[in-house]
A and B are shown apart, each in its own frame.
Chain A
Amino acid sequence: MKTLRHGTHLGLAAGLLLTALLSVPSAARADEPESVAIVFNLEGAPMPGLPPDAAVIRQAALEILTALTGASHRPAADRAGTEDLVRRHRVRSCAALPAAFLADLRSELGAETLLAVTVLADNGSLTATVRAIGTGQGRVEALGIAAATVSEGTWQRSLADALRRAMPPDAPGHRGGAPLLILSSRGIGLDAQAVRTATACLLAAAVADTNWSVIDPALAAGSALDTGRDPARLDKEGRAQLAERFGITWVVLPEVVSFGQVDGNANAAPDYLADGPAAGPRQVTDMTITLRLLDLRTGRIRAASSIMMPGGTPTGWFGVIHPMTELDQMREGAENLWPRFKHLLEDPTS
């Protein structure tokens, strides 16, 4: 009898505990960390040191990214659900994202943030770009870029290294400031991947400036795809659509021009170019980055600012060579140009 009473008490206690635990979730959900959806793109070409099957790299990258988000207490959203939405909205790359895709990530998977991750495999290195995009308004919350060299048998380590360093710190949440749309760069004399890297460097400089609420350019590209318009040829209707869609009166048009000027390395022996410490993954040429401010109401350019980044291999005292990659050059150019351009931005917004 005693045992039965004891058992009943235990059962009641367990039932109460279970009820308490079940009643907690609505309150606990509010405290739960926001989940993060991850979309991954691999670009570039097969290269020595990487497995020939892109699916293997993709799988490894997704596992690393899930672990990284988990470590920052932001669990990854359901991967199968994310993949389903990617297929449903025909998201082929992180460079063009439909607004409906972000909305569905939020409503169906409860993802507050999308991590749009691109890894470029090119000339012996992996360059990772990670954009944290708020699924609510499509603003870039944080952005990171990092590169790692791939050597034989160490691609997993290089991939993890590039992704870990590119992973931006926890997003600061809602960013204040006026909305700012920087369209994807127009490249002259550069391949598409280099142009995307340049755009990412410019975005990183703009996002670091907390005065602006930066709209992800992939949304503008996605919007252009939806309406069948070429964002490089914005006529009156195209400008009006952009203005209406994003509630802005002007956009920033970046242009990156490579002048193809090669320094003394051009005369160096081929083995030096291939294996030397200063050869780098790609020969760095003179390059200009230009930012133009387009008034969407009139179609005229209101302001422009340009910077020239010399190419070649910088040599210091006693002939010490400081290797510079295209990514270093673009990042430095963007960081130097943005403060100058920022002053021009202040006038139209005031």
Chain B
Amino acid sequence: MKSTRRLVRGTTILLLAVCLAAIGCAPRASQYVREDVDFSFIRRVAVYPFYNLTQDVYAAQRVQSIFVTEVLANKDLEVIDRGATLAAVAEMKLPLDRILSPEQIKDLGKRLGAEGIFFGTIEEYGLDRTSHDPSEVVTSVYQLCETQTGGTIWSSQTRTDGSSLLRKFFGGGTAGIYDVARANVRAALETLF
């Protein structure tokens, strides 16, 4: 009787482990959340143009498009239109290829009436051919800065690839870059919301 229970428990644990391993687009994330900040204070946010470190010229814009939709899907935040942000960036002559200083973040927040500003850097985007089994990969760093002090209150570095055990078992190949990018954004935002 005892041995049957042990067998059932063992099988269940094994099945759970296989299921977890088989889930596609498994992301790896490391994040930082400042503990002394009341996040409910942040209602209105802007998204600064993402910075691109990849070969694909459109990588940052593509991921940013997904990012904005996913932030909007979370009803807690109001997102300022990209056009208004770009107009403010142009008028304030802010750099798009460098990190903003706390003073610049404070000024931008004041101008847009935003309590927080999201920043993003796309470090890796596209097919990773270095491994034995090529798969789509997205690695990114997202940050949220509050505009009262210009300090970072949340940051997440996430790497997501399109390979999974299920896909390997059934010969499905890698997940598409859109699915991988969306999984990447979701994994990062899960650590915030």
Contacts and interface: CB of A to CB of B under 8 A. Distances in A.
Pair from one complex: yes
A299 B84 contact: yes
A254 B111 CA distance: 25
B88 interface: yes
Given A188-B58, A294-B81, A300-B78, A233 B178 contact: no
Given A235-B87, A259-B176, A300-B81, A290 B69 contact: yes
Contact of A257 (B65, B73, B83, B90): B65
Contact of B90 (A233, A234, A259): A233
A168 interface: no
A257 B44 contact: no
Interface in A251-303: 253, 255, 257, 259-261, 286, 288, 290, 292, 294, 299-301, 303
A75 interface: no
Interface residues of B, number: 27
A259 B61 contact: no
Contacts, number: 82
B87 A234 contact: yes
A260 B58 contact: yes
A183 to B, nearest CB: 9
Interface centre among B56, B112, B176, by most chain A C-beta atoms within 10 angstroms, is B176
A184 to B, nearest CB: 12
Contact of A259 (B78, B79, B177): B177
A47 interface: no
B65 A310 contact: no
A308 B58 contact: no
A335 B66 CA distance: 21
Nearest to A251: B81
Contacts of A286: 176-178
B62 A259 contact: yes
Interface in B79-132: 79-81, 83-84, 86-88, 90-91, 112
Interface centre among B65, B83, B91, B176, by most chain A C-beta atoms within 10 angstroms, is B83
Contacts of B66: 288
B87 A257 contact: no
Interface in A224-269: 231-236, 238-239, 253, 255, 257, 259-261
A260 B176 CA distance: 10
A189 B58 contact: yes
Interface in A210-225: none
Contacts of A253: 81, 83
A313 to B, nearest CB: 14
14 contacts: A232-B83, A233-B83, A257-B62, A259-B178, A260-B58, A292-B81, A294-B81, A299-B112, A300-B78, A300-B81, A301-B68, A303-B72, A304-B68, A304-B69
